[in-house]
Amino acid sequence: MTLRKPYPPIEPYRMGRLEVGGGHELYFEECGNPEGMPVVFLHGGPGSGASAHHRRLFDPQRYRIILFDQRGCGRSVPLGSLEANTTWHLVDDLERLRRHLKVDRWLLFGGSWGATLALAYAEAHAGRALGLILRGIFSGRRSELDWFYEWGANRLFPDQWENLVARIPANEQDDLIAAYRRRLTDPDRAVRAQAASAWTAWEAATVMLRTSTPPLPSTAATQTDGQIAFARIENHFFFHELWLEEGQLLADIERLADTPGIIVQGRYDVVTPAITSWQIAQAWPKADYRLVEGAGHAFGEPAILHELLEATDRFVTDH
């Protein structure tokens, strides 16, 4: 089978900013066909931001492609702000953006944290979701956080784990998320940069099943404001357990009983192991579950990317 490549690069036909309260202003853009099926891309992290690569997941002739940077991320301001920045603020932001763009209903597309946000929004506003395309679902349960920051992934990546733990004194290593929070919220930028370096290096080392080149060294000196913002926001959400009740997204999946979904999951995804997406698919009658062999977490893995492109084409054709 020949694996598909993304659609050609495309530029936005509209860019704008939307004030959403709490001192936050979101960047958004629209690409593709203004008369096409509306789809909103929800980036991961939390904290990363949308990019030009994400525009290329959708047929520009058939989709009205909406991308935006969540609070404190990317081109939204203030960069790295943790104030008034919770899951439910972001759900409200999505509704505000939908109304601002005069969209009646839209397709939600998200991977990892983007899948979390898509589910939280759709379960709260099921009538506004044409459907969901999700990759590597993270539902925010304690077991998922513990897997990645306590007892699971470290057994597969002990060398990279050592780099993460080495920055933290032994008496704080029983709660790495809290330990890193103290450093990522420190008033000294150098302290924040050092913590961000280790935090982001751990994630970068685990997102791909395999890579032909080792990740570039990450040091405090090379950390940009955007990278520090990413680490701060991601840690902030994890420290607060995403402001979700334990198991909430799985328990409320029944609200999507009439909503179609496509789930793409890498078999060897270390960041968001397949058990979560599997359990959600079992409880969601209209979910089309695609377990991808020989793939990990990142959307850029060839087999994952192929399935995502197939999913966006299939959805717009079928609906």
- Any idea of the CA torsion for 104, 115, 234, 244, to the nearest 10 degrees? 80
Reading phi first (left if > 0) and then psi (alpha if -120 to 50, else beta), residue 309 is in alpha
Asked if residue 206 lies in contact with residue 152, where contact means CB atoms within 8 angstroms, the answer is no
Is 297 among the catalytic positions? yes
Cα–Cα separations (whole angstroms), residue 150 to 153, 165, 257: 8, 10, 34
Asked if residue 73 lies in contact with residue 230, where contact means CB atoms within 8 angstroms, the answer is yes
Catalytic choice (69, 269, 277, 306): 269
Catalytic choice (24, 43, 297, 306): 297
Catalytic choice (76, 112, 139, 277): 112
Q: How would DSSP label each residue in 56-78?
A: TTS-TTTEEEEEEPPTTSTTSBS
Cα atoms in the 13 Å half-sphere on the side-chain side of 273: 11
Is 212 among the catalytic positions? no
Is 218 among the catalytic positions? no
Count of Cβ atoms closer than 10 Å to residue 40 Cβ: 24
Count Cβ atoms within 10 A of the Cβ of residue 285 and give its class: 0-12 exposed, 13-18 middle, 19 or more buried: middle
Question: What is the Cα–Cα distance from 161 to 165, expressed in whole angstroms?
Answer: 6
Residues involved in catalysis: 112, 269, 297
